[in-house]
């Protein structure tokens, strides 16, 4: 029998593609292992160390960009990127530990070509700033990175604002140069929240979610060094930074280049695969407010409370309140303990729910609604005066809950 030529050629092409990928993977892993396990030798004068800054992506954890440290040697032929942003979603209790601020990240070296391919697929840009290091400084920095990558050293307790993939890179650079790194002074640094808002522009749910969970501490003024938790801010500061040593100064960065340009088409294709909420927070807020008013009018006309609505709303309020309570009371995350939105979103509705439903069915009054109306009115009155930037979502949520309480109280008055 004759073998069809087209399927045969297709199988050959697939086999070649798979083997090429396997070979690339094997070579990359061998390069990493060889580089890390090699005994420290004399100073490699061909070492070049670069700060890599990647532009933001569409995922929540990609919105702020990323930082890596590239080390390449013409002598050994190695070209690695040390990445302090490695984490495992499949790790035991990852989500719970993240909420509590007890997430562990690790540093891992990967071949530069792999790093480049990852961000090329995402459509992000990569900016390279070659560090102006003397051979001994570059060697010391490389040795420190290798030491960090040892199994007993590679894991660290991640903190988004104070100990992340960017601050770790900054700190290891500063600790291995001869002298002090002096950054140019920037004015109008703002707060942690203003920095976060800069990178969530156009991502409304990420912005409002942050604002819902983060407290008043995020609105206090921060230092320039604090702002360097952001990869983009560190890149800007490093560009004009100087290394000062015994009265002499030299630039921290010797040259800057764009390794990878942003690709709008690739970014759109990458983002299209990611889930997104079909409606904006503002539109949802308006719909909820209108629905609450319409339901209140309908209840007044029929003279009865639609108690299933109370179950849904109080369950939402209470469950959201549990999350905020955990963050306020037990989370190690900075900036969550002083969240005054706890006044609106707290677990107390879960305790009151059985009593409210029982009163609704019997058409009797419930003290919960008097307390809820008073607390919500007080919150709406003093919120503009408080030293916290509240999520736009908290106002319609408070309005909906207040509308429910007023509807109940008005019907109780009629039934007396």
pLDDT tens by residue, 95-106: 778 778 888 999
Give the residues across from 83 on adjacent strands: 108
Average pLDDT (300-308) is 91
Backbone angles phi, psi at 53, to 5 degrees: -125, 125
Per-residue b or e along 187-198, where b marks 16 or more CB atoms closer than 10 Å to that residue's CB: eebebbbbbbee
Residue 115 has pLDDT above 60, yes or no: yes
Could you tell me which residue, 193 or 362, shows the higher pLDDT?
A: 193
User: Per-residue confidence at 2, pLDDT binned at 50, 70, 90?
Assistant: very low
Of 65-74, 211-220, 356-365, where does mean pLDDT reach its minimum? 356-365
Which pLDDT belongs to residue 210?
Answer: 93
Residue 131 has pLDDT above 80, yes or no: yes
Average pLDDT (319-329) is 93
Sign of the Cα pseudo-torsion (369, 370, 372, 378, in order): positive
Percent of the chain at pLDDT above 90? Answer: 70
Which pLDDT belongs to residue 232?
Answer: 97
User: Per-residue confidence at 416, pLDDT binned at 50, 70, 90?
Assistant: low
Average pLDDT (311-336) is 92
Which pLDDT belongs to residue 278?
Answer: 83
Average pLDDT (37-41) is 52
C-alpha–C-alpha distance, residues 131 and 173, integer Å: 9
Cβ–Cβ < 8 Å for 54, 65: yes
Residue 24 has pLDDT above 80, yes or no: no
Strands 248-251 and 242-245 come out as antiparallel
Which pLDDT belongs to residue 276?
Answer: 73
Average pLDDT (215-234) is 96
Residues belonging to the chain: 416
C-alpha–C-alpha distance, residues 119 and 117, integer Å: 6
User: Per-residue confidence at 332, pLDDT binned at 50, 70, 90?
Assistant: confident
Cβ–Cβ < 8 Å for 291, 401: no
pLDDT digits (tens, 9 = 90+) for 261-282: 998 888 888 877 767 778 999 8
**Exposed (0-12), middle (13-18) or buried (19+): which is 274, by Cβ within 10 Å?**
exposed
CA distances from 141 to 43, 175, 256, 371 (A): 11, 8, 20, 61
Of 26-40, 44-58, 148-162, 208-222, where does mean pLDDT reach its minimum? 26-40
Which pLDDT belongs to residue 30?
Answer: 41
Residue 32 has pLDDT above 80, yes or no: no
Torsion of CA 202, 203, 204, 210, to 10 degrees: -130
Cβ–Cβ < 8 Å for 177, 137: yes
C-alpha–C-alpha distance, residues 158 and 165, integer Å: 8
CA distances from 124 to 53, 113, 115, 201 (A): 10, 15, 12, 17
Of 52-61, 67-76, 270-279, where does mean pLDDT reach its minimum? 270-279
C-alpha closest to that of 63 among 168, 197, 158, 169: 197
C-alpha–C-alpha distance, residues 256 and 60, integer Å: 28
Could you tell me which residue, 21 or 107, shows the higher pLDDT?
A: 107
Instruction: Tell me the whole-structure pTM to 2 decimals.
Output: 0.85
Which pLDDT belongs to residue 198?
Answer: 95
Edge-to-edge strand list for the sheet holding 248-251: 180-182, 242-245, 248-251
Cβ–Cβ < 8 Å for 92, 103: no
Residue 107 has pLDDT above 90, yes or no: yes
Helix H, strand E, coil C: the string for the chain is CCCCHHHHHHHHHHHHHHHHHHHHHHHHHHHHHHHHHCCCCCCCCCEEEEEEEECCCCCHHHCCCEEEEEEEECCCCCEEEEEEEECCCCCCCHHHHHHCCCCEEEEEEEEHHHHHHHHHHHCCCEEEEEECCCHHHHHHHHHHHHHHCCCCCCEEECECCCECHHHHHHHHHHCCCCCEEECCCCCCCCEHHHHHHHHCCCCHHHHHHHHHHCCHHHHCECCHHHHCCCHHHHHHHHHCCEEEECCEEEECEEEEEEEECCCHHHHHHHHHCCCCCCCCHHHHHHHHHHHHHHHHHHHHHHCCCCHHHHHHHHHHHHHHHHHHHHHHHHCCCCCCCCCHHHHCCCCHHHHHHHHHHHHHHHCCCCHHHHHHHHHHHHHHHHHHHCCCCCCCCHHHHHHHHHHHHHHHHHHHHHHC
Average pLDDT (188-212) is 93
C-alpha closest to that of 81 among 72, 73, 89, 90: 72
C-alpha–C-alpha distance, residues 103 and 93, integer Å: 9
Which pLDDT belongs to residue 41?
Answer: 54
Which pLDDT belongs to residue 270?
Answer: 80
Sequence-distant (6+) residues with CB within 8 A of 95 are none
What is the overall mean pLDDT for the chain?
87
Sequence-distant (6+) residues with CB within 8 A of 248 are none
C-alpha–C-alpha distance, residues 1 and 168, integer Å: 64
Which pLDDT belongs to residue 267?
Answer: 82
């Amino acid at each position: 029998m004759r073998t069809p030529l087209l399927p045969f050629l297709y199988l050959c092409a697939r086999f070649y593609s798979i083997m090429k990928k396997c070979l690339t993977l094997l070579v990359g892993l061998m390069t990493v292992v060889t580089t890390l396990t090699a005994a420290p030798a004399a100073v490699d004068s061909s070492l070049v160390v670069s700060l890599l800054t990647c532009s933001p992506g569409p995922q929540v954890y990609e919105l702020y960009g990323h930082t890596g440290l590239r080390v390449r040697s013409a002598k050994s032929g190695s070209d690695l990127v040390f990445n302090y942003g490695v984490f495992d979603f499949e790790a035991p209790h990852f989500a719970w530990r993240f909420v509590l601020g007890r997430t562990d990240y690790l540093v891992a070296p990967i071949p530069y070509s792999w790093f480049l391919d990852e961000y090329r697929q995402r459509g992000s840009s990569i900016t390279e700033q070659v560090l102006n290091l003397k051979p001994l400084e570059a060697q010391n920095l490389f040795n420190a990175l290798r030491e960090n990558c040892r199994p007993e050293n590679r894991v660290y307790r991640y903190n988004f604002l104070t100990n992340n993939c960017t601050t770790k890179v900054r700190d290891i650079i500063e600790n291995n140069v001869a002298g002090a790194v002096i950054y140019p002074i920037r004015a109008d640094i703002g707060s942690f929240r203003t920095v976060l808002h800069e990178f969530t522009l156009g991502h409304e749910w990420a912005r409002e979610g942050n604002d819902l969970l983060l407290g008043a501490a995020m609105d206090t003024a921060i230092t320039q060094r604090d702002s360097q938790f952001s990869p983009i801010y560190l890149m800007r500061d490093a560009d004009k930074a100087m290394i000062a040593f015994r009265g002499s100064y030299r630039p921290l960065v010797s040259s800057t280049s764009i390794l990878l340009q942003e690709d709008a088409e690739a970014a759109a294709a990458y983002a299209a695969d990611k889930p997104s909420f079909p409606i904006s927070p503002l539109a949802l807020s308006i719909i909820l407010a209108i629905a609450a008013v319409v339901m209140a009018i309908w209840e007044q006309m029929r003279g009865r409370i639609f108690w299933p609505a109370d179950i849904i709303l109080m369950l939402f309020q209470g469950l959201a309140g549990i999350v905020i309570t955990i963050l306020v009371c037990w989370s190690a995350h900075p900036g969550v303990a002083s969240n005054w939105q706890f006044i609106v979103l707290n677990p107390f509705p879960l305790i009151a729910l059985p009593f409210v439903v029982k009163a609704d069915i019997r058409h009797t009054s419930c003290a919960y609604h008097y307390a809820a109306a008073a607390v919500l009115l007080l919150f709406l009155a003093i919120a503009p005066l408080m030293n916290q930037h509240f999520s736009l979502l908290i106002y319609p949520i408070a309005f909906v809950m207040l509308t429910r309480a007023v509807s109940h109280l008005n019907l109780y008055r009629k039934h007396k």
